[in-house]
Chains A and B, each alone.
Chain A
Amino acid sequence: MSSTTDPAAAASGQRTAAETQAIVERSLRRRYRAEKRFQAYGIAAVLAGVLFVVFLFGSIFSQGASVFRQSYLRLQVFYDPAVIDPAGTRLADDLATADYQALVRESLRKRFPDVEGRAALRKLYAVASGAAAVELQQRVAADPTLIGRSERVWVLADDAVDMLLKGETRRDSAEEERRLTDEQVAWIDALAADGSLALRFNRAFFGNGDSRDPEQAGVRGALFGSFLTLLITLLLSFPIGVAAAVYLEEFAPRNRLTDVIEVNINNLAAVPSIVFGLLGLAVFIAYFGLPRSAPLVGGLVLTLLTLPTIIIASRAALKAVPPSIREAAFGMGASRLQTVAHHVLPLAMPGMLTGAIIGMARALGESAPLLMIGMVAFIVDVPKGVLDPSTALPVQVFLWSDLPERGFVERTSGAIIVLLLFLLVMNATAVVLRNRFEKRW
């Protein structure tokens, strides 16, 4: 480079325009390359993320999609008055305690009249789920005039039948290696051939609480438990969080005390959730004596968990409101309360709601703190109130994933899908709220 420079310029340490141009052009190419590289890294990162998501969703949906259809058995049932109501009282109590299993057995015997012997019959009865009798009982309870009549009913088939129909159990495996005997497989094939055994929409999965029989296990209990817990969380954490944020942001003087509070709130947001569970156990259950496994306690614990998130998001939303708004309000003679209540808060509300929903989404996915307060439990009845024992969706996923029956594998993934849908609805609400009310400056 020095060979082409003219002596005067070189002496004064300056470059000619042409030289500068050359240097810039050379470095320009390098800088363009660097930018291209940087973009490539970015795209690779995005692709990797997308790949993980696709893999995750792919595996969940491929395993869980089958849960929405379940094997149902069509039975021709005769509601024999001699079985249901031998005394002829038609009292609800008598109807409820009758042996409906006998009706299911009778119906299966009629369908396969040539099956004989106690052992063979037991195997035949095993094709229907234990829930079949419950279904018949409910039908009679709803309409006692059915007694003495005959009707075709779709009832749940056993989970072993379901696994065979869905191809989870291998037909070519030896008889002693599967839960169904060759005889049972033959009956199942006969039933399937004339349409009496088919995959239909899985009502039980959405209508039932937990059960140890995969075909009867449903997410309704967990879904209601999650809903009640989140309701308590929202009712408590949103007002408290917003009030705390408004006070800290708009009214509190800046001194050491508020600094300490601020640091603590930020720290709380990063505390492992199990710690809140322990706190909930010590305070709400041990000290206040609230019942274990109740959505009320779950909601209180998750309130502690989401409060920092909501406070931080709400303060950010308040900060984003331009000072000119406040100054204009003051200029019109508004008091501080009027300024905040009439102008700042409505403008910050979309951001606060978004923050609240992000906090609630985190609360929805928590299972660790719920372990300590007894919500990791087997609960058959769907909770009706915030003091009833209940469980939550992520807990249900955890519990089902650890059971030996194969039918629970698809149910686990099914519950995850329901959980994801719940989350999707919540996040979509957040987006809609933000888009509808957000103001940009």
Chain B
Amino acid sequence: MKIACVSARSLVVVAAAVATSGLAGVAWAQSARDFVNVVGSSTVYPFTTTVAEQFGRQGRFKTPKVESTGTGGGIKLFCNGVGVQHPDVVNASRRMNAGELETCRKNGVTEIVEVKIGFDGLTLSESKRGPSFSLTRKQVYLALAKQVPDPARPTALVNNPYKTWKDVDPALPALKIEVLGPPPTSGTRDSFHELYMEAGCRSFAWIDQLRGMDEKRFKRVCHTVREDGAFIEAGENDNLIVQKIEANPNAVGIFGFSFLEENLDQLRGLKVDGVEPTYETIASGKFPAARPLYVYVKKAHIGVIPGLKQFVDEYVSDKALGEEGYLTERGLVALPRAELAKMRADVKALKPLKL
């Protein structure tokens, strides 16, 4: 049939077009990339983008591209190999773990420079119109865990019986427990489990002992959040949680310090273990729930990707990371001076990460 021939011919043309565009792409991939490519955590994204923009404005190099892929996904891309098609830098809201480092090594990414950029406080906040109260991490654990030690027989676990904060501790207000936090897919939720739930859970001696013996059970006891409506998964978007607790004075929200700082006229940070979340308390390590944030740099790309070295230098400069730096204006809490100096020296020397 004639038309069949025509369509077959056009199919061949299309296939050829796709193939040539593919070949052009291969050619592109082999030629150099002239901008820095960053992937990773959405928590570190606001900071790295700020540095990228400042760096780009100096006009010496192109503005780096920063993708928001999440810590795990970012490290995966980063560890895929060495070469212009792979990212140069990865943002992480937690430290890279041994398994990830091993994957990296297997794919030829042998030397990675770790940059600890500072801290992010994980705060519990409420509306200004709400009752002002302070919590301990033990109270947070008791209020939000799925199973808690039986008040009558402390070595046995029961389903969480507490309905109000007063049930948890008579000193707290008689308010329904209502906490808005991120879903399990979020890195912030991991931090919440680690900094609040696990810390609170370990205040029970027998659970703490489980840690060495039965790691799985320990994780299950400490990291399982109740599902009866007291803990509300409010989505990945921290701004949404901010808006919801502004509207509901009885609810408590979980989010990073930068969001609290930006909304101080409407919100109040709850004291945790008696310490108020402020820049100073987080920087000095007094505030118990602060997590370090990291940026990892692929050493093999330094000198290959134009501007990578300079971008890292800009990132660790006093202008960016120092106590008065522009990142602190964005809510990042700077490292203590001595630690910052040591980190900076390690980064300048491109000391590879060892776990």
- Name A residues whose Cβ lies closer than 8 Å to a Cβ of B: 96-97, 130, 134, 169-170, 173, 176-179, 211-213, 240, 243, 247, 251, 284-285, 287-293, 296, 335-337, 340, 371, 374, 376-381, 387, 389, 399, 401-406, 409
CB distance from A103 to the nearest CB of B (A): 16
How many contacts between A and B, using CB within 8 angstroms?
Answer: 124
Cα separation A325 to B59 with both chains bound (whole Å): 64
Q: Are A251 and B3 also in contact (CB < 8 A) when A212-B46, A378-B66 are?
A: yes
Q: A212-B49, A336-B3, A374-B39 are in contact. List 11 more A-B contacts (CB 8 A).
A: A179-B262, A212-B50, A213-B53, A247-B3, A289-B30, A377-B68, A378-B53, A378-B66, A378-B68, A403-B239, A404-B331
User: Out of B3, B48, B56, B239, which one reaches A401, CB within 8 Å?
Assistant: B239
| A240:B14 contact, CB within 8 angstroms | yes
User: Out of A212, A284, A402, A405, which one reaches B262, CB within 8 Å?
Assistant: A405
| A340:B67 contact, CB within 8 angstroms | no
10 CB < 8 A contacts A-B: A251-B4, A289-B26, A290-B29, A291-B33, A292-B85, A371-B69, A378-B53, A404-B46, A404-B330, A406-B263
Q: Is B196's beta carbon under 8 Å from chain A?
A: no
| A336:B1 contact, CB within 8 angstroms | yes
> 6 nearest interchain CB pairs?
A289-B29, A288-B22, A290-B25, A173-B265, A378-B66, A377-B67
Cα separation A386 to B1 with both chains bound (whole Å): 38
Q: Is B147's beta carbon under 8 Å from chain A?
A: no
User: Out of B28, B68, B85, B238, which one reaches A399, CB within 8 Å?
Assistant: B68
Interface set, chain B 24-56, CB cutoff 8 A to A:
25-26, 28-30, 33, 35, 37, 39, 42, 45-46, 48-50, 52-53, 56
Q: Is B71's beta carbon under 8 Å from chain A?
A: no
Q: Is B129's beta carbon under 8 Å from chain A?
A: no
Cα separation A261 to B78 with both chains bound (whole Å): 39
Q: Is B7's beta carbon under 8 Å from chain A?
A: yes
Cα separation A45 to B53 with both chains bound (whole Å): 49
Looking at chain B's contact residues, the main secondary structure is: helix
User: Out of B10, B67, B264, which one reaches A177, CB within 8 Å?
Assistant: B264
- Closest residue of chain A to B63 (Cβ to Cβ) is A380
**Beta-carbon contacts of B71-111 to A below 8 Å, as 1s and 0s?**
00000000000000100000000000000000000000000
Cα separation A376 to B53 with both chains bound (whole Å): 16
Cα separation A409 to B69 with both chains bound (whole Å): 21
| B264:A387 contact, CB within 8 angstroms | no
Return chain B residues, CB-CB under 8 Å to A381. Answer: 56, 62-63
Return chain B residues, CB-CB under 8 Å to A292. Answer: 37, 67, 85
CB distance from A185 to the nearest CB of B (A): 13
| A289:B6 contact, CB within 8 angstroms | no
CB distance from B290 to the nearest CB of A (A): 17
| B259:A289 contact, CB within 8 angstroms | no
User: Out of B2, B59, B63, B239, which one reaches A409, CB within 8 Å?
Assistant: B239
**Beta-carbon contacts of B221-261 to A below 8 Å, as 1s and 0s?**
00000000000000011110000000000000000101101
CB distance from B307 to the nearest CB of A (A): 14
Q: Is B65's beta carbon under 8 Å from chain A?
A: yes
Interface set, chain B 3-19, CB cutoff 8 A to A:
3-4, 6-7, 10, 14
**Beta-carbon contacts of B325-349 to A below 8 Å, as 1s and 0s?**
0000011000000000000000000
Q: Are A293 and B59 also in contact (CB < 8 A) when A251-B4, A340-B3, A387-B28 are?
A: no
Q: Are A377 and B65 also in contact (CB < 8 A) when A288-B26, A290-B25, A403-B46 are?
A: yes
Cα separation A215 to B233 with both chains bound (whole Å): 31
Cα separation A243 to B6 with both chains bound (whole Å): 10
Cα separation A401 to B25 with both chains bound (whole Å): 33
Q: Are A402 and B67 also in contact (CB < 8 A) when A178-B264, A291-B29 are?
A: no
| B263:A211 contact, CB within 8 angstroms | no
CB distance from B239 to the nearest CB of A (A): 6
- Closest residue of chain B to A400 (Cβ to Cβ) is B239
CB distance from B188 to the nearest CB of A (A): 11
Cα separation A291 to B65 with both chains bound (whole Å): 12
| B262:A404 contact, CB within 8 angstroms | yes
- Closest residue of chain A to B242 (Cβ to Cβ) is A404
Cα separation A340 to B7 with both chains bound (whole Å): 13
Cα separation A212 to B42 with both chains bound (whole Å): 14
Between A211, A389, A404, the greatest number of chain B beta carbons within 10 A of the residue's beta carbon is seen for: A404
| A169:B265 contact, CB within 8 angstroms | yes
| B239:A243 contact, CB within 8 angstroms | no
Q: Are A291 and B236 also in contact (CB < 8 A) when A336-B3, A376-B67, A404-B259 are?
A: no
